[in-house]
Amino acid sequence: MKFYKYQGTGNDFVVIDDREGTFQLGQAEIAHLCHRRFGIGADGLMLLQNAEGYDFRMVYYNSDGTEGSMCGNGGRCLVRFAADLNIVQNFTTFIAIDGEHHAHIAPDKISLHMKNVAKIDAIEGDYFAQTGSPHLVRFTSSVKDENVQQVGAAIRYSDTFKPQGGTNVNFVEILEKGLFVRTYERGVEDETYSCGTGVTAAALVANSVKGLSSPISIQTLGGNLSIEFKGDAQNGYHDIFLIGPAVCVFKGEITSL
């Protein structure tokens, strides 16, 4: 089976062209391919499939092999893949697990339209937003000193989030210009270098609670992103764009599973 490897600010993905609809691997096999010792190594695996009325369908699996909710960086990488395959050029409309998305394509960046966010919830001193995936946002004065793995896992598996299948957890420091965000990702069960739906949640919460205005620059361990949006916490957020680089790293052939 032929595969491609893409990354967007260090959030990395195995990508498969499944327009013929022949992909049949199960959870254990997907987890194996994403394993960084025994497989290709990635935060997730994505399929690009045909979808009537759209340029393509995005199917996203976390690195543990479970089907994930929306992945913002994955969406940006799959748009780049569709452009590399010449399925789309400057603009695309595609369908993902959380509904329709469109994106603008430039050589150095993909601007991905994210779903509207109706509200921000305050939860025990933290904040929660659903940006296609569930995200807790915790402000901190020094994000580099946070134990993202340990504290993130404790929140992800806490009783508060258990009924809804857990949550992703973002630690957010306000910088002179923008935010520095580190994310514990559900389904990877570790910190990733960047999380698109996570930085989107962080930006909207920063607007709602700290008054930062659009566009908001985001620093992650894997590089820089930008979030544009309209609206506010009272009336909800719309026209939200996740903007940043997405590139093909290499391609190859899967020879054993």
Ligand X SMILES: N[C@@H](CCC[C@H](N)C(=O)O)C(=O)O
Which of 76, 27, 20, 15 is closest to 257 using CA atoms? 27
Binding of ligand X at residue 137 (CB under 6 A)? no
Binding of ligand X at residue 187 (CB under 6 A)? yes
Geometric angle at alpha carbon 109, from 140 and 128, rounded to 5°: 30
Binding of ligand X at residue 130 (CB under 6 A)? no
Binding of ligand X at residue 98 (CB under 6 A)? no
**For the chain, first and last CA: distance in Å?**
11
Restricting to residues 9-38, name those near ligand X by CB under 6 A.
11
* CB nearer to ligand X: pick between 27 and 235: 27
Binding of ligand X at residue 71 (CB under 6 A)? yes
User: Which of 39, 65, 72, 152 is the binder for ligand X (CB under 6 A)?
Assistant: 72
DSSP three-state, residue 161: coil
Q: Kindly give, in sequence order, each residue whose CB lies less than 8 Å from that of residue 65, ignoring residues fewer than 6 positions away.
A: 26, 27, 28, 29, 30, 31, 34
Q: Kindly give, in sequence order, each residue whose CB lies less than 8 Å from that of residue 55, ignoring residues fewer than 6 positions away.
A: 82, 87, 88, 92, 93, 94
User: Which of 7, 49, 62, 219 is the binder for ligand X (CB under 6 A)?
Assistant: 62
* Cβ 176 to ligand X shortest distance, Å: 25
**In sequence order, what E strands does 50-176 have?**
57-62, 91-96, 99-105, 110-114, 121-123, 126-130, 134-139, 168-174
User: Which of 39, 152, 196, 222 is the binder for ligand X (CB under 6 A)?
Assistant: 196
Please give the annotated binding residues, written as ranges: 11, 62, 72-73, 168, 185-186, 196-197
Q: In the complex, which residues of this chain contact ligand X (CB under 6 A)?
A: 11, 62, 68-69, 71-74, 133, 168, 185-187, 192, 195-198
Please give the annotated binding residues for substrate, written as ranges: 11, 62, 72-73, 168, 185-186, 196-197
